[in-house]
Amino acid sequence: MNNKIRWGILGCGNIAAKFASDLQYVSDAELVAVGSRHRPVADEFAKKFSARVSYGSYEDLVNDHEVDVIYVATPHGLHHEHVLLCIENEKAVLCEKAFAINQRQAKEMIDAAKKKNLFLMEALWTKFLPNYAVVQQMIKAGKLGEIRSVLVNFGFIPKKPIAARIYDPKLGGGTMLDIGIYNVFMAMSVLGKPDAIEASMTPSSTGVDEQCAATLKYNNGAIAQIFSSFSSNLATEAHINGDKARIRLTHRFYSPAAEIEFYPDYPDSKQIIPFEKIDGFGYHYEASHVGECLRKGLTESPVMTHADTLSLMEVLDKIRAAAGIHYDVDV
Ligand SMILES: NC(=O)c1ccc[n+]([C@@H]2O[C@H](COP(=O)([O-])OP(=O)(O)OC[C@H]3O[C@@H](n4cnc5c(N)ncnc54)[C@H](OP(=O)(O)O)[C@@H]3O)[C@@H](O)[C@H]2O)c1
C-alpha cells in the first residue's frame, strides 16, 4: 500500500462534498479520484477538493488502479449496484447509509466482498463520533441504571429544490431508510435487536413514507419509540431513559453537534457532559477508521461489522413490513 490511503469518491453530490472536505483531517488519506455521471460535475468537484483525476463515469473510476478504496455516495436505491461494481473491480468500499434497500441486497453485497476478500463497511458515521462513545461509556458504567425506554425523533421539511432521492421509490426515497435509520440505530445501540415491532406510516404522493412511527418492544419490558418525518421540522433528539437517570442527546442527536445532557435526578438536575469537539463535519472519524482497517489488512470493520449492518437492515425490513413501506426490489 502507498504512503497514504488513496480514496476515490463515486457520485459527486451533497454528502460526497462533506466527506471530501473532511478527508483533509485524515493524515493518512489522499483524495485521488472522483467519478460522476457527468464529466463537468466530476471536473468541478475534483478541482474544489484537489483530487488528482476526475472521471465522467463510475466505470472509469472503479478501473483506476491508483485507488485503494471507494466511498459510495449515491442514493441508497443504487448502493447495491454501485457497491457490486466496485467489488467486481477489486476495490475496497465504504458505502453510505442506508447500506441497501433491504437485507437481501445487503447480504449479496457482503457475500460479494467476502468472496473477493475485499474490505466493505457501511458509513454509519455516528458510531465513530466522540459524543456517541461517551454516551456508550456512561451506559456501560451503569450511570443510567437499567435502560427502560428510548425515544427518538428525526424530522425536517425538505428544502426546495428537493433532491430526487427524497421521494423517488426507485432511489429508496422515504423517511425510514433516509433518516429513520438513525432512530433505529440509536435504539438498537442501547437496547439491541427488538423482540417485537409495531409501525405505521403516512404515504407521500409517490407512495414512500412521508412520516413513520414505530414501536420496538423488548422481552424485558423496555420499549423504544421512534418517529421520522419529512412533513414537519422536529427536535431531532434522542432520550435514553434508565431506572436511575436519563440522557438527552440534543438536536441532530446522530451528529457531533449533539450535546449530551445528563439528568441524574428528577426533575431538573441537568449536567452537560463534555466530549472532544472537532473541526470539520465529523466524517473523518469513519474515514480514519477505514484507513486503519486497510493498513491491518482487514476485510471487515471491528466497529461497524457486517453483522451490525445485517441486523440493522433486518429491523428496517421488519419496520417497513409492519408499516406497509414497499419497494419494487423487495419481491
Ligand atoms: N452520513 C450522512 O450524514 C448522510 C447525509 C446525507 C446523505 N447521506 C446518504 O448519502 C447518500 C447520498 O445522499 P446525498 O444527500 O449526497 O444525495 P444527492 O446530493 O442527491 O447526491 C447523490 C449523488 O448520487 C449520484 N447519482 C447517481 N445516480 C443518481 C440518480 N439516478 N439520481 C440522483 N443522483 C444520482 C449523483 O452524483 P453524480 O451526478 O456526480 O453522478 C448525485 O449527486 C444517500 O444514501 C444518503 O442516505 C448520508
Q: Residues 48-85: pLDDT tens digits?
A: 999 999 999 999 999 999 999 999 999 999 999 999 99
Instruction: Report the alpha-carbon distance of residue 240 to residue 26 in Å, rounded.
Output: 32
Q: What number is the average pLDDT over the span 131-141?
A: 98
For residue 163, report the distance from its CA to the centre of ligand 1, in Å.
Answer: 9
Instruction: Report the alpha-carbon distance of residue 309 to residue 331 in Å, rounded.
Output: 21
Instruction: Report the alpha-carbon distance of residue 207 to residue 316 in Å, rounded.
Output: 17
> Of all atoms in ligand 1, which is nearest to the CA of residue 177?
47
Give the CA-trace dihedral at 156, 160, 161, 164, to 10 degrees: 30
Contact 67/6 with Cβ under 8 angstroms? yes
Give the SS3 label for residue 278: coil
Q: What number is the average pLDDT over the span 216-226?
A: 98
> Tens of pLDDT along 96-107?
999 999 999 999
Q: What number is the average pLDDT over the span 160-173?
A: 96
Give the end-to-end CA distance of the chain in Å, rounded to a whole number. Answer: 41
- Report the sign of the C-alpha dihedral through residues 106, 108, 110, 112, in that order: negative
Instruction: Report the alpha-carbon distance of residue 211 to residue 178 in Å, rounded.
Output: 11
> Tens of pLDDT along 274-292?
999 888 999 999 999 999 9
* Superfamily of domain 130-281 in the CATH hierarchy: Dihydrodipicolinate Reductase; domain 2 (3.30.360.10)
Average pLDDT, the chain: 97
Mutate to test the pocket of ligand 1, among 14, 168, 179, 183 (most ligand atoms within 8 A of CB): 14
For the chain, how big is the Rg over CA atoms in Å? 20
Q: Is 11 in the pocket of ligand 1 (CB under 6 A)?
A: yes
For residue 75, report the distance from its CA to the centre of ligand 1, in Å.
Answer: 4
The pTM of the full predicted model, rounded to 2 decimals, is 0.98
φ/ψ of residue 229, rounded to 5: -150, 140
* Residue 141: per-residue pLDDT: 98
130-134: long-range pairs with CB below 8 Å, 24+: 130/256, 130/275, 130/276, 130/278, 130/285, 131/249, 131/256, 131/258, 131/259, 131/260, 131/275, 132/189, 133/275, 134/260, 134/273, 134/275
Instruction: Fill in the amino acid letter for 96.
Output: E
* Residue 2: per-residue pLDDT: 63
Which of 40, 31, 93, 39 is closest to 62 using CA atoms?
Answer: 93
Beta-bridged to residue 241, according to DSSP, are: 149, 246
Which of 42, 73, 76 is closest to 57 using CA atoms?
Answer: 42
pLDDT band, very low/low/confident/very high, at 1 (cuts 50, 70, 90): low
Instruction: Report the alpha-carbon distance of residue 227 to residue 217 in Å, rounded.
Output: 15
pLDDT of 267 strictly over 90: no
Task: Please provide the CATH number assigned to the domain covering 5-125.
Answer: 3.40.50.720
Q: Is 36 in the pocket of ligand 1 (CB under 6 A)?
A: yes
Query: Where in the chain are the domains?
Result: 5-125, 130-281
* Residue 328: per-residue pLDDT: 97
* Residue 281: per-residue pLDDT: 98
